[in-house]
Amino acid sequence: MPELTRRRALGAAAALTAVAGAAAVTTTPAAAAPTPDHHHGGQPESFDEVYRGRRIQGRPASGGGHHHGAGYAVFIDGAELHVMQNADGSWISVVSHYDPVATPRAAARAAVVELQGAPLVPFNGN
């Protein structure tokens, strides 16, 4: 029997992830449907809600941001959550960087879940 190496373990994990991802895409076509969080111009709408006991807010922002242009600002309990839109239109945050979601609201909710009640610590990306 071949020896289990890190390379083989990572290859097997990647294969399982690909299979699981393909299964999720084929079994849940509604997940690819557009979300109601977008204006006609493609910019996400503002939101302000309490999710799992945390206040999450999001709104379009302009100038001075990470990309020095128009962007989107997300806050958890008043602390800014750094979010970024990927080229494919999905969104990621500094808290859930490897788990892209469809909207900034979904990124805020995922961060709240990941934080498990811990406060959001300010992020200085520079």
Residue found by looking up tokens 């076509």 in the block: 29
For domain 35-115, the question of CATH label 3.30.460.80 is answered with no
Say how far apart CA 51 and CA 105 lie, in whole Å.
10
Q: pLDDT by residue for the chain (126 residues), tens digit each?
A: 567 676 666 666 666 666 555 544 444 444 444 445 554 456 899 999 999 999 999 999 875 555 444 589 999 999 999 999 999 999 999 998 899 999 999 999 999 999 999 999 877 766
The predicted model scores a pTM of 0.63
Other C-beta atoms closer than 10 Å to the C-beta of 123 total 14
**Do 86 and 104 form a contact (C-beta atoms < 8 A)?**
no
Strands 79-81 and 83-85: unpaired
**Do 120 and 112 form a contact (C-beta atoms < 8 A)?**
no
